[in-house]
Amino acid sequence: MRILVTGGAGFIGSAVVRHLVLDKGYEVLNVDKLTYAGTLTSLKAIDNRPGYRFLQADIGDHAVLGDAFASFRPDRVMHLAAESHVDRSITGARDFVQTNVMGTFNMLECARHYWQGLPQTQKDAFRFLHVSTDEVYGSLGDEGLFTEETPYDPSSPYSASKAASDHLAKSWARTYGLPVVVSNCSNNYGPYHFPEKLIPLMILNALKGKPLPVYGNGANIRDWLYVEDHARALDLIAERGRIGETYNVGGRNEQRNIDVVRRICELMDRYRPQAGSHERLITYVTDRPGHDARYAIDATKLETELGWKAQESFDSGIDKTVRWYLENEWWWQPLQQGYDGKRLGLLEPQKQAVAI
Ligand code: NAD
Ligand code: TYD
């Protein structure tokens, strides 16, 4: 099995690549531009494996991706490369449109060109898994869950760009017959998570005794999934998902942001005891513009049709995650030269308009 993975140097992509190479023994070509969010140190465990190759490239580069398809000859594509941080998309949406929309368009076109030239048996077996987010569905109220039938209603430039890419991917299945499957997952957490996102940012700020910035009143709810559970789900969906279908992925782990931050503080109190609790560092700050109130996934289709089940509970996953950051400073320390933890995504009136 030969799998072309995009974004394999990122948080989820690196978990997927490690799973495919180490647990499944597949051959993998990892195509990644290595933006601020991509780091090859996340792949240290596999970088000498004979079945693993890396290509530094932009998914929007038609010539380079065309050559990569022609020479690697993948049986499957797992497309994860994206700009992924909501706050960055508020500060500047251009890269999100460029990579998430135009880059996905280019991936679909390169895949289609390659797929059309395959012998019939390989053509039938080929799959293009487009990896997306539950944020395309917008915000839930107090009740209900996102299903695969929930209408799209994205709030942020990030989720809007992912929604656009999902529509492109599905239209390539309907119009050209490209064997596309789409997955929409809830918030991931775990090792190798770039420390601009809630959980790793809070762990590292707590470790350094810095304020823990909770947006708004901290009552926003996210549905947390351990990243390795997501990686296993994606492998399953790429292998057995039905063409043209969407699969929601989520761990049934809804948590208010403030409860997540308090849990991290408790774990930090246990593993790095101080005079007072780390909770004293919690600081309520200006809310995110367009902040979605609640995300929650109904993963019944994935569970019943494909037999997937999350292995990690939030309690076990968050404990592992905190301990991983405490034990792996070698990984996160160098990243802090590129990002110093500064607040992103606040509106600055004089800078709101962006020239086209
Ligand atoms: P990430 O930001 O950690 O990693 C993204 C990777 O893509 C990086 O390695 C980066 O270098 C690469 N990349 C960015 N632009 C590129 C380009 N133009 N060409 C080639 N490579 C490029 O993101 P992540 O959290 O691992 O998310 C991976 C995918 O999963 C994304 O498509 C995201 O929308 C989706 N997703 C993320 C979450 C989450 O909680 N993080 C949840 C559901 C879905
Ligand atoms: P984030 O990790 O950015 O993921 P997403 O926006 O894709 O859900 O944020 C998770 C939640 O945590 C979200 O409701 C915003 C909130 N948040 C904070 O309260 N403080 C922070 O410093 C960050 C980064 C996020």
Q: How far apart are CA 173 and CA 188, in angstroms?
A: 27
Q: How far apart are CA 105 and CA 205, in angstroms?
A: 38
- pLDDT given for residue 63 in this prediction: 98
Q: How far apart are CA 264 and CA 278, in angstroms?
A: 9
Q: How far apart are CA 7 and CA 207, in angstroms?
A: 29
Any idea where the domains of the chain sit in the sequence?
Answer: 2-187+225-254+290-313
- pLDDT given for residue 330 in this prediction: 98
Would you call 291 helix, strand, or coil by DSSP?
coil
Q: How does DSSP assign 265-286, residue by residue?
A: HHHHHHHS--SS-GGGGEEEEP
Q: How far is the CA of 79 from the centre of ligand 1 (A)?
A: 9
Phi, psi of 234 (to 5 degrees): -65, -40
Pocket residues: Cβ below 6 A from ligand 2: 86, 187, 197-198, 201, 213-215, 220, 222, 257, 288
Q: How far apart are CA 334 and CA 355, in angstroms?
A: 33
- Report the 10 Å Cβ neighbour count for 178: 23
Q: Name the residue type at position 151.
A: P
Q: How far apart are CA 273 and CA 293, in angstroms?
A: 33
Instruction: State the catalytic residue, choosing from 27, 32, 58, 134.
Output: 134
- pLDDT given for residue 355 in this prediction: 55
Q: How far is the CA of 339 from the centre of ligand 1 (A)?
A: 17
Class level of CATH domain 2-187+225-254+290-313: alpha beta
Instruction: State the catalytic residue, choosing from 114, 137, 158, 325.
Output: 158
Q: Which ligand is nearest to the CA of 161?
A: 1
Ligand 1 lined by 68 (C-beta under 6 Å): no
- pLDDT given for residue 338 in this prediction: 82
- pLDDT given for residue 26 in this prediction: 98
- pLDDT given for residue 335 in this prediction: 94
Q: How far apart are CA 132 and CA 121, in angstroms?
A: 28
- pLDDT given for residue 348 in this prediction: 76
**β-bridge pairing 212-215 and 282-285:** parallel
- pLDDT given for residue 107 in this prediction: 99
- pLDDT given for residue 61 in this prediction: 98
- pLDDT given for residue 349 in this prediction: 64
For each successive 10 residues of the chain (356 residues), what is the average pLDDT? 98 98 98 98 96 98 98 98 98 98 99 98 98 98 98 98 99 98 98 98 97 98 98 98 98 97 98 94 98 98 98 97 98 91 84 55
User: What angle, rounded to 10 degrees, do the helices at 257-271 and 198-208 form?
Assistant: 40
pTM for the model stands at: 0.98
